[in-house]
């Protein structure tokens, strides 16, 4: 039996406002409409991995509030096991305020809520309860506290699972953490920030030297680049006219994890992930509207 994708990350309630153009600093722009959707990098990745055919378990935290009930119901509707999501009484469910213009570009403001409260000890206990094996892949992203992210990576690696980090937003982690990674998936600004270099390929090579596997740089409409030692493989994206780019990177990561767990090679899995991420720009919000949306 194929292993699971275990996602450690954020869970948010999204509010999306469509506007004719993104506001500049101090400027008010009147939007056309507002929509309530489901989000959080971790939850979006979990749903994408499930839709790509993987068995998925979500590890994270929400508040003990009405928003949490909706977020957990949406995960269940998509087929994600949320038995390792904590409901915390001392913090609200995370909320994201998203502004999207008519070209599909966006601005996002996040109140992390319970995502910021989930502790390193709690995430280690939750991963222990998952009974990880070497067939599993643990996908971690950076919307949790840095200590919690580092603890998740170390715990997953010690349990024998492959570990994939989507370093969004980009920030340094504890010494030795990157050496435990099987895969790192930054976008262009993130790989530049993490390596302190402007050349994207050189930055990816620098980071890959400190991990156990390749670095895959997502490049928006240009697709993705797989950097593994001296080898660089570019995977182009299919042409499309975006409606909303929110969550496309999350779809990429979720699909990539699912295809790797299914046994596909890195190039084939990346090609599938790029294609699905491009498709994700054709709807408003981070997930297909029919999947657990109100």
Distances from the Cα of 206 to the Cαs of 35, 203, 257, in angstroms?
41, 5, 23
Q: Determine whether 90 is exposed, middle or buried from the number of CB atoms within 10 Å of its CB (0-12, 13-18, 19+).
A: exposed
Alpha-carbon distance 238 to 275, whole Å?
7
* Ramachandran angles phi, psi of 268, nearest 5°: -65, -45
Alpha-carbon distance 273 to 96, whole Å?
24
Q: Check whether the bond before 219 is cis (ω within 30° of 0).
A: no
Query: What amino acid positions are annotated as catalytic residues?
Result: 250
C-beta separation of 18 from 33 below 8 A: yes
For residue 23, give both structure tokens.
Answer: 């506001």
Alpha-carbon distance 179 to 140, whole Å?
15
C-beta separation of 41 from 9 below 8 A: yes
C-beta separation of 286 from 161 below 8 A: no
C-beta separation of 232 from 226 below 8 A: yes
Q: Which of 243, 238, 233 is nearest to 221 (CA)?
A: 238
Q: Which of 131, 129, 138 is nearest to 156 (CA)?
A: 138
Largest CA distance in the chain: 55
Q: Which of 163, 145, 167 is nearest to 155 (CA)?
A: 163
């Amino acid at each position: 039996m194929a292993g699971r994708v275990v996602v450690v990350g954020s869970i948010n309630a999204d509010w999306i406002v469509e506007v004719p153009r993104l506001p500049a600093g101090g400027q008010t722009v009147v939007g056309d409409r507002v929509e309530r959707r489901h989000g959080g990098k971790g939850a979006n990745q979990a749903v994408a991995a499930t839709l790509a055919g993987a068995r998925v378990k979500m590890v994270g935290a929400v508040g003990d509030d009405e928003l949490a009930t909706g977020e957990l119901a949406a995960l269940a509707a998509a087929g994600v096991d949320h038995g390792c999501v904590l409901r915390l009484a001392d913090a609200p469910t995370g909320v994201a305020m998203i502004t999207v213009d008519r070209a599909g570009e966006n601005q996002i403001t996040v109140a992390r809520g319970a995502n910021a409260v989930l502790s390193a000890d709690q995430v280690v206990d939750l991963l222990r309860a998952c009974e990880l094996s070497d067939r599993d892949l643990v996908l971690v992203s950076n919307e949790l506290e840095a200590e919690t992210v580092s603890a998740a990576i170390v715990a997953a690696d010690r349990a024998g699972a492959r570990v994939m980090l989507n370093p969004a937003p980009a920030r340094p982690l504890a010494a030795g953490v990157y050496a435990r990674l099987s895969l790192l998936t930054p976008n262009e600004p993130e790989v530049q920030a993490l390596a302190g270099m402007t050349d994207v390929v050189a930055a990816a090579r620098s980071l890959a030297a400190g991990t156990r596997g390749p670095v895959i740089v997502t490049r928006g409409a240009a697709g993705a680049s797989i950097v593994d030692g001296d080898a660089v493989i570019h995977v182009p994206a299919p042409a499309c006219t975006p409606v909303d780019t929110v969550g496309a990177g999350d779809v990429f990561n979720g699909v990539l994890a699912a295809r790797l767990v299914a046994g596909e090679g890195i190039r084939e899995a990346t090609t599938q992930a790029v294609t699905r991420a491009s498709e994700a720009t054709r709807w408003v919000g981070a997930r297909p509207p029919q999947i657990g949306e109100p």
